[in-house]
Amino acid sequence: MNIGDAAKATGISVKMLRYYEEIGLVRPANRTYSGYRVYGEKDIATLRFVGRARDLGFQVKQIAALLDLWRDQSRSSADVKSLALAHVADLEQRRRQLDEMIAAIGHLAHNCHGGDRPDCPILTTLGSESPAKVARMPKRARTGFAAVA
Amino acid sequence: MNIGDAAKATGISVKMLRYYEEIGLVRPANRTYSGYRVYGEKDIATLRFVGRARDLGFQVKQIAALLDLWRDQSRSSADVKSLALAHVADLEQRRRQLDEMIAAIGHLAHNCHGGDRPDCPILTTLGSESPAKVARMPKRARTGFAAVA
DNA sequence: TTGCGGTCTCCCATCATGGGAAGGTCAAGT
DNA sequence: ACTTGACCTTCCCATGATGGGAGACCGCAA
């Protein structure tokens, strides 16, 4: 299997397959004599694991930890669970931040009639007082969402 | 007012004040003879506007648009409102993605007893079938949250 | 053999943010 | 007046996950 086929089989782009290898998340693929990467069943299974964890919003470092646990026959399920729960807590915190932002902006927009005239409480609020009681973000991940675009 | 004072007054770091100037989000600050940036009342007001929009999760490009509208006496409030609503829709989509992830992982964790033994459905699910019916993310912003760390 | 599509490596860009180095400035205290 | 320390300046680099593209090579089919 060449890298393109592996990409199709795992839903991970060719670029990312090379990147995951480069940063050591997955073991370097075997190579043909001429340098092409060759993927076997095991590689594909690992990559699918990675892809699914990624889809669940795990960061690469967390995925690396999950992979270690996955391969470790003697792991305790408590280890896995705590990692998962920590991630859930993280996601939930982000969700709360989103909720606050949505509520604050929604409130402002609600009070804006939206007609042709210029008076709009969205801008005046942003320009003067606190725009709503949106808690100052904890330094980590301000709003986040590295718009991958 | 020097840049450090401006940072304290606006809650925006010194680094970011310079960055916002560099990318043209705000007009270059006046300088003293020796090159220090000097901020006046208007500058601070503008920067506070920027900071609050940022706290509401607007991206820099959107903040630039909001600033234009803020300064444009002849704007229509409809323009502002549609920008705000588009942003809300964006945030809501991200929230839905988070919700899906939270539900999926929470479900997996719930079925994991968490004891000393290695059997854990979290890993086996990630390793085999679809980890849950988490919709494949739309290419934009996979999970996002550029962990600013 | 030619041609096309896949692959290789390398470098660059994103977005918002911070770190740090090397050097200039300013105000307060001696 | 001089030192000291806090502040400011610019410049470069790093982050995380991803994509784009250039220039060169490989492999297979017509």
Give me the mean pLDDT over the B94-111 stretch: 87
* Stretch A108-125: mean pLDDT: 77
pLDDT above 50: residue A76: yes
Least confident span in A11-20, A74-83, B33-42, B45-54: A74-83
Q: Report which secondary-structure segment, H or E, holds B100.
A: helix B77-110
What average pLDDT score do residues B27-38 get?
96
Q: Using 50, 70 and 90 to split pLDDT, how confident is the model at A19?
A: very high
Q: Please give the pLDDT value at position A77.
A: 86
In chain A, residues with a C-beta closer than 8 Å to the C-beta of B122 are 77, 80-81, 84
Looking at the predicted structure, is the pLDDT value of residue A133 above 50? no
**pLDDT tens, position by position, A34-73:** 999 999 999 999 999 999 999 888 999 999 999 998 988 7
Mean pLDDT of chain A: 83
Residues with Cβ within 8 Å of residue A89, at least 6 apart in sequence: none
pLDDT of residue B39: 97
What crossing angle do the helices spanning A77-110 and B77-110 adopt, rounded to 10°?
A: 160
Q: Can you give the distance from the CA of residue B16 to the C1' of nucleotide D3 in angstroms?
A: 32
Mutate to test the interface with B, among A55, A113, A140 (most CBs of B within 10 A): A55
Residue A14, pLDDT > 70, answer yes
B144: pLDDT strictly greater than 70: no
Percent of chain A, pLDDT > 90? 44
pLDDT given at position B148: 40
Looking at domain B3-71, its CATH class is mainly alpha
B137 has a pLDDT exceeding 60: no
Domain A3-56, second-level architecture: Orthogonal Bundle (1.10)
pLDDT score for B130: 55
Helix (H) / strand (E) element for B128: namely: none
pLDDT value at B75 more than 90 = no
Q: Which nucleotides of D are covered by protein (CB under 7 A)?
A: 7-10, 15-20, 25-27
CA–C1' A47–C3 (A): 34
Structural domain boundaries in chain B: 3-71, 85-149
Q: Which contiguous run of DSSP H or E holds residue B38? A: strand B37-38
Chain C bases near protein CB atoms (7 A cut-off): 6-9, 14-19, 24-26
pLDDT for B146 beyond 60 = no
- The Å distance, CA of B102 to C1' of C19, is 34
Higher pLDDT, A149 or B57: B57
* Cα distances (angstroms) measured from residue B74 to each of A92, A115, A116: 41, 12, 9
**How large is the ipTM?**
0.80
Q: Considering only the beta carbons, identify the residue of A45, A56, A145 that sits closest to B94.
A: A145
Chain B residues with CB inside 8 Å of A134's CB?
Answer: 55-56
pTM of the predicted structure, to 2 decimals: 0.81
